[in-house]
Amino acid sequence: MNIVIIKYNAGNVQSVYYALERLGYTATVSDEPAVIRSADYVIFPGVGEAASAMKYLQEKGLDSVIRSLTQPVLGICLGLQLMCSHSEEGNVDCLGIFPQRVKRFPNTEKVPQIGWNDIFELHNPVFKGIKEHSYVYFVHGYYAELGENTIATTYYTQNYSAALCKENFYAMQFHPEKSGDIGEQILRNFLELKN
């Protein structure tokens, strides 16, 4: 199985790489378009700031590469936000794979959200074997709105999208690679999806 983790200036690559290793998979880390396109599964992680990350993706031509992929793609954390239409973080247009807009949590609350939170209203094969209200690990100050692509919901100041799916594109606001057994099962489920 050929798994590629996209390397860019905001990727939390190592933790994802080691999580896959624990599951018995070896991944390639690359920013080469041909390598990314040849993968069976692509993981698009992210920790950082949306505007500078989008600028980097555009400079490297990775924005059009990601949009063109037809195999299963998994965005994680900032990866999810960059797959949405627009982010308030740096007021930047993003990849537009999902129509959701990304907004900042209200200043009245403790921002960013850091820690374990439950996910619910799970409806996608990527959550096979995961119980409603399972706890996963979040670190973020911005969130994606709810919409028709929402496949998991969570609550922090309000309900928002914990995970999104559209065709072959999947994305999670939480970090499955840091979410213990639950996260490992979600990663395994993703890698068992059929092209």
In the set 94, 177, 184, 192, the catalytic residue is 177
Q: Position 187: which residue type?
A: L
**How many domains does one find in the chain?**
1
Which one is catalytic: 21, 59, 77, 88? 77
pTM over 0.85: yes
How far apart CA 136 and CA 76 sit, in angstroms, is 13
Of the candidates 49, 73, 77, the residue with the CA atom closest to the CA atom of residue 136: 77
Is 123 considered catalytic here? no
177 is catalytic: yes
CATH number at 80 reads 3.40.50.880
Question: What gap in Å lies between CA 186 and CA 174, rounded to an integer?
Answer: 11
Its domain, for residue 55, covers 3-191
Catalytic site residue from 84, 89, 140, 175: 175
Digit-by-digit pLDDT tens for the chain (195 residues) are 999 999 988 777 899 999 999 999 999 999 999 999 999 999 999 888 999 999 999 999 999 999 999 999 999 999 999 999 999 999 999 999 999 999 999 876 678 889 999 999 999 999 999 999 999 999 999 999 999 999 999 999 899 999 999 999 999 999 999 999 999 999 999 999 986
- Whether 165 sits among the annotated catalytic residues: the reply is no
